[in-house]
Amino acid sequence: MALVFERNFEAPYETLISVATRIRRLLARNPGPFTYKGTGVTVIGERRVAVIDPGPDDPQHLAALRAALEGETVTHIFVTHTHQDHSPAAQALKLWTGAKTYGFGPHGGGGREAGIAVEEGGDRDFVPDIALKDGDVVTANGFAIECVHTPGHLSNHMCYALKEEKALFSGDHVMGWSTSVVAPPEGDMGAYLASLEKLLARDDAVYWPTHGGPIRDPKSLVASYIEHRREREAQILACLNNGLACIPQMVSRIYVGLDPRLTPAAGLTVLAHLIQMAREGRVLAEGQAALGARFRLARQ
């Protein structure tokens, strides 16, 4: 099964548009290699509304969001995870509206990999007013919003299901335009794969990722994501088998034609696979499993 990306996504910037009966979206003007066209801020309901992923702390975005929500009462602010393009605007939105913030928890405490700047950095300021657990259901303005904890991209990643629309707001866990970055130390490939399997057991009809358009056949996409990760694993094992012991060598062998801006993220994703395979006893690292380490196959 080939992994097919859906990149025919057009939406006006900084305008709240209706995309389903109970769902509106506003696209922030922060396009980039990690954000695609930008952050899609979700608004659920009308007049009394819940917001998911208010977006970046950027003055122009905040002004657009404030103008778009003029005349409505924001009652809940949900955050899928603490990356700069998702959570920071929660603080300003909370100040204007008095609404409480909801999320799994603050950013995980792991340090940054030395010398590597992944553009989509962590928001260390966000602390939810209400800490959510997997399976919690928040009733917001008559809607039931179910929390689906999906660690992997980040340990605090939460998807939200809107039962009335059979819709899952999938954050950065599953996106239609790209695979998700899984960058250690905060990103964890074993957790990511388990969180994909978790979605396969659900019956959501449509996913609304924070970046890009809706995913109308979500289970087949999730299945192809799992297969894609297994193929990556096989490619990394083949590199090791051919004596390529260092992550930069593996990245240039595996990621042919990659946007150079994504090379650090690709290196971290390969590291995430290697860490997971080391846990499973399939791979050995010389010293600590890190970007600069040498790796080899474990003897069976």
Binding site for Zn ion (CB under 5 A): 83, 172
Q: Rounded to the nearest whole angstrom, what is the least distance from the CB of residue 153 to Zn ion in the complex?
A: 6
Q: Closest CB to Zn ion belongs to which residue?
A: 83
Identify which of 233, 135, 161 has the alpha carbon closest to the alpha carbon of residue 192: 233
Distance CA 257, CA 111 (A): 30
In Å, how far are 113, 195, 197, 285 from 278, measured between CA atoms? 18, 20, 21, 7
Radius of gyration of the chain (CA): 19
CA–CA gap between residue 220 and residue 206 (Å, rounded)? 12
User: How crowded is residue 47: how many other Cβ atoms within 10 Å of its Cβ?
Assistant: 8
Q: How far is the CB of 265 from Zn ion (least distance, A)?
A: 11
For residues 128 and 125, what is the distance between their CA atoms, to the nearest angstrom? Answer: 10
Residue whose CB is less far from Zn ion, 97 or 210: 210
Q: Output 80 or 101, the one with its CB closest to Zn ion.
A: 80
CB of 228 to Zn ion, least distance (A): 18
Q: How far is the CB of 81 from Zn ion (least distance, A)?
A: 6
User: In the complex, what is the shortest distance from the CB of residue 52 to Zn ion, in angstroms, rounded to a whole number?
Assistant: 14
Instruction: Give the C-alpha distances (Å, rounded to integers) separating 91 from 101, 159, 179, 207.
Output: 9, 20, 28, 26
Nearer to Zn ion, 53 or 165 (CB): 53
Nearest to 211 by CA among 69, 58, 2, 11: 11
Adjacent-strand bridge partners of 48: 73
Nearer to Zn ion by C-beta: 75 or 179?
Answer: 179
- Our CB check for Zn ion shows the closer of 79 and 251 to be 79
Nearest residue (CB) to Zn ion, 83 versus 107: 83
Place of tokens 């809940």: 76
